[in-house]
Amino acid sequence: MPLAYISDYSWEAIVPIPQDDGGENPLAPIAYQDDYKTATGYLRAVMSVEEVSDRALQLTSDLIFMNPAHYSVWAYRARLLFALKKDLEQELIWIEEVGQRFPKNYQIWNHREMIVDKYDNPIRELPFIEVMLELDSKNYHVWSYRQWLVRRFDLWITELPYTDRMIENDVRNNSAWNHRFFTVFGKGVDIAQSEINDEIDYAKRAILKAPQNASAWNYLLGVLKRAQRPLSEIEEFCNDLAAVTTTAQSLNVDIDRLASTRALEVLADIYAGRREVEKAAQAWTLLAEKYDPIRENYWKFKNRRQVSVSWLQPK
């Protein structure tokens, strides 16, 4: 079956340039399919003379459906679209078809960013992004594109409610938590303390749903750090989840009530920050020997480091 660009346009004047895999007898030639070898031969020929034409544009379309990771084809296509003054909305519709067929391909999103930036209208974007995130709610490339879009068109107002919904659907969706952090802190303006409090409470509620969920814990710790607020602010919260009781020099963990070893990790850092060396050491030892032995060497390292640092600090 002839390819569309061969049957629809005249190519007699174009001599395809074959792939050079390393001379006449390459060591490991790539076994391209015949259609792909033909198409890339014509691509190299038209790119070598910087041809700007409808047939070249059709050629890029054929090649992208054969190999959507071919970066040079995307770059050439963008130049052709702008030079030929093509309808950019039609290009966006075409990209939607490509995107749903190849959802993990990042070149699609780089190309769409260029087209939307030139088109200067985001009306199609959020609905399309929602479709793509329904296919894969953790698709890094889609979330990255969404962040660009929000900044480019000042769409901040939509984002907290959207992350609410995505996190409600999957509290372990690290991409949604990352986007929430971007939404709260990415505007480059001062954040009211009341808003910080709301985010701390939001993260705590999510942790109570899934106490071992790293995404919510990372978000909570990230908010505290960004707001320059002390870890000790969540000490009581961590005590409850780790089922910890303490005396002046030691701690006790009620194994029957322990809900989160993540909470115990945070408590260890709180103790270390207050130079309560014995309690921090006990927490890290429990993590190393009982609750998180996979990372035993890491917890022992933290313990050794704490001891060495404590010797250098003034009493």
In this structure, are residues 192 and 228 in contact, taking their beta carbons and an 8 Å threshold? no
Quick check: 226 pLDDT over 70?
A: yes
101-105, 147-151, 178-182, 218-222: least confidently modelled range: 101-105
Residue 239 is encoded by which pair of tokens? 């005590």
Quick check: 120 pLDDT over 60?
A: yes
Highest mean pLDDT among 24-33, 75-84, 187-196: 75-84
Quick check: 7 pLDDT over 60?
A: no
Q: What is the mean pLDDT of residues 169-194?
A: 96
Q: Given this model, what pLDDT does residue 315 score?
A: 45
SS3 content of the chain, % helix, strand, coil (to 5): 70, 0, 30
Q: Given this model, what pLDDT does residue 313 score?
A: 47
Highest mean pLDDT among 66-70, 175-179, 255-259, 273-277: 175-179
Q: What is the mean pLDDT of residues 280-303?
A: 94
2-16, 69-83, 99-113, 249-263: least confidently modelled range: 2-16
Quick check: 299 pLDDT over 80?
A: yes
Q: How far apart are CA 242 and CA 144, in angstroms?
A: 35
Catalytic residue flag (residue 104): yes
- pLDDT tens digits along 27-61: 666 667 888 888 999 999 999 999 999 999 999 99
Q: Given this model, what pLDDT does residue 312 score?
A: 40
Local structure of 251: helix, strand or coil: strand
Q: Which one of the listed residues 37, 85, 86, 104 is annotated catalytic? A: 104
Domains of the chain: 1-86 (1.25.40)
Q: Given this model, what pLDDT does residue 311 score?
A: 42
Where residue 247 falls among pLDDT bands split at 50, 70, 90?
A: confident
Task: Please list, in sequence order, all residues whose beta carbon lies within 8 angstroms of the beta carbon of residue 46, skipping any fewer than 6 positions away.
Answer: 14, 53, 55, 56, 59
245 phi, psi to nearest 5 deg: -120, 145
In this structure, are residues 107 and 140 in contact, taking their beta carbons and an 8 Å threshold? no
Residue with the larger pLDDT of the pair 246 and 123:
123
> What is the four-CA torsion angle of 68, 69, 74, 76, rounded to 10 degrees?
-110
Where residue 309 falls among pLDDT bands split at 50, 70, 90?
A: low
Of all residues in the chain, the percent with pLDDT exceeding 70 is: 90
